[in-house]
Every structure is written in C-alpha cells, then in structure tokens.
Structure 1
Amino acid sequence: MERESLKKAEERLKVAWMALENDYLNSALSNCYQAFFYFMQGVVGTDAIGVKSYPELLSLFIKKLYRRGIFRPEQLQKLTVFAEELYAVVKGLEYYGIAFSKSHASKVEEYVSRVKSLILSYESKRI
C-alpha cells in the first residue's frame, strides 16, 4: 500500500506540473491535492486504512513523521524534494490567483518546514 500510494503521489505531481505548464489550472490544483493526499497516505501506510477525513490523515502523518527513526537520510531527502516540488506547484497556482484553501496551503507549508527541520536536526546530530 505504501509504495503504491507514493507512486500515485509522484504520478499526480507530474500531471500537476504538466497541467500548470499548459495553463490547465483547475487540473493542476486537483492533481496537486491528490498528490499531497496520496503522499501522506503512503507515509502513514496501513494505519491509513479506514481513515475518512483529511485532518485525520494529516494527524496520522505528522505523528508518523515525528516517530523516532522512521526515515533514513535518503528517505528524508526524497521527502524534501517532493515537498519542494509540491510547494512550487502551489506557488505557481497562487501566481495565477488560484490558491489552495488557507488551511490546505498552511498544511503544505507546515509540512515543508517540518521536513526541513527534521533533516537539519538529523544532520546536526551526525556531526
């Protein structure tokens, strides 16, 4: 389930990029939402079975993200790349005046900053 969800997230993000580049803004937004949802589902894994709401999934995602030792350095790097690409799509949509709802946009921003701070704390412990 996890690998499949992460693959779906990557596919959706690619579609969102293409849609954004071709000015299909509604499609870009829709695929961006789906990418973020699939990505969280992939990280949460089997715990996501039966989860019905976005806030509930996000809560599980944050808990799993903070659980000690869940990510190896290369996984954190992949998370960061995904987060930055997702964030870039969101910013691209905002450029066109189409934004995520405030709560969704702040969740994406929060996610990006948490991933980055996790990497920084990991790096500082390695030194």
Structure 2
Amino acid sequence: MTCMITALRPVDRVRQDAEPIAAMYRDMGTKAAEQVVNRALGELALTIATLSQQVKNRDLVDLPRRLRRLQRMSENLGMVSLGLVAADARSVFETGDTTAFAAIWARLLRVAERSLASDKDLLDQSL
C-alpha cells in the first residue's frame, strides 16, 4: 500500500483597517504621525520577536500578558487579523491545550509576517 503525503500550505487572509493610521495622520500631521507609526511598527515587530523567543525557549510564564499586549498594539495599528489571532492564541493558551496552541501559534506567525510585510501598503492607503 502506497501512502501519499500532502503538504498543506495554509494561506491566511490578512485584514487591515487603514482608519486608525489615517486618523493619526489627520490628527498629528504627516511628519509626527509617520514617526509614531514607524515606532509602533518597530515595537510590534520586537514584541513578536520576543514572543517567538519565549515560545521557542518554553518560557511561558507571562505569555498571556504579552499576547494581550500584541493584540492591543495590532488593534491600534488597524491590523485586524493579527489582533484576532493574538486573542485566540491567548485564549487557547489559557485552556492548556498545547496542540491547539501550537496550531494557532503557527497561524499567528504567518499572519504577523504578512501583516508586517504589508504595513507599507497600509501606510500608503492612509495618506
């Protein structure tokens, strides 16, 4: 009997809302908003990298708090999908279901990568 192995390549649709960033540009002006948004995107990337290292090292003590922070940061930048997946990861982590957490964690990394890759598109939409 021959067994076929199928490689799954999940593609997550990334939803973004340009309004939070557009509001910053309207309220602060281009130069100030650009600085705030760039700083926030840098903090978001650093938070994801820190979370990733924590999960890799199985240092999970304050993981729910950090995931909640990631969720808030994402929402403030209009990264709808990333915020939702961060909330899902926190919720599942708190249930203790390690298999479900591993699956959602993998999804969070995919969505984070796509969200950060498209942050330039989001900035362009808000101008």
Normalising by structure 1, report the TM-score.
0.38
Relative contact order, CA 8 A, sep 6+: which one is greater? Answer: 2
Q: Which of the pair has more CA radius of gyration?
A: 2
Higher helix share: 1
TM-score (normalizing by structure 2): 0.38
